[in-house]
Amino acid sequence: MRFLIYASPFDVTGRDVLKIIRSMNHGCETMYMPSIEDLQTYLGQPAHMPDGIILMPQTVAEMDDLIRLSHLMRDTKVILMLPTGSQHISSDVNLLRPSFVGYAGEDISVLTAVIQKMAETNGSSPLKAIQ
């Protein structure tokens, strides 16, 4: 499976998630996108479409930018990790059609379980991972 992670280069949780995915022994290829521009360029090339995208926005402006790119993420599983205590996230977040929504500042073991289950089942519903 191919995973793509969008997180600010200053986001410690994003770096931790990247390390966790790379340490899993499931043959997962992981790409890291540190900016909206990099993400847009990468997703604009259909041959590069990942199986799963982990989005870790830190601000409302980043979330709005990701929502504007939602049309580029239609054919992949989206995992959305919101910043802890985020209260002002747009109601348009459903346009991203996330398969899983969590909070980045909390225990990332649930996110790890979701990613592991997706890798084991080759991209089927990540919700089964937490049942």
Joined tokens for residue 24:
């899993």
DSSP for 77-92?
EEEEEEPTT-----GG
pLDDT of residue 15: 81
Domain boundary assignment for the chain:
2-130
pLDDT in tens, 94-129: 889 998 888 876 767 788 888 888 877 765 554 444
pLDDT: is 80 or 26 the higher one? 80
What are the backbone angles phi and psi of residue 22, rounded to the nearest 5°?
A: -65, -25
Joined tokens for residue 88:
């002002």
pLDDT in tens, 42-97: 999 878 788 899 999 988 889 899 999 999 998 889 999 888 766 656 667 888 99
Identify the residue whose tokens are 């937490």: 130
Phi-psi region at 77: left, alpha or beta (left = phi > 0; alpha = psi -120 to 50): beta
Give the C-alpha distances (Å, rounded to integers) separating 96 from 37, 65, 88, 92, 125. 17, 11, 16, 8, 16
The CATH code of the domain at 2-130 is 3.40.50.2300
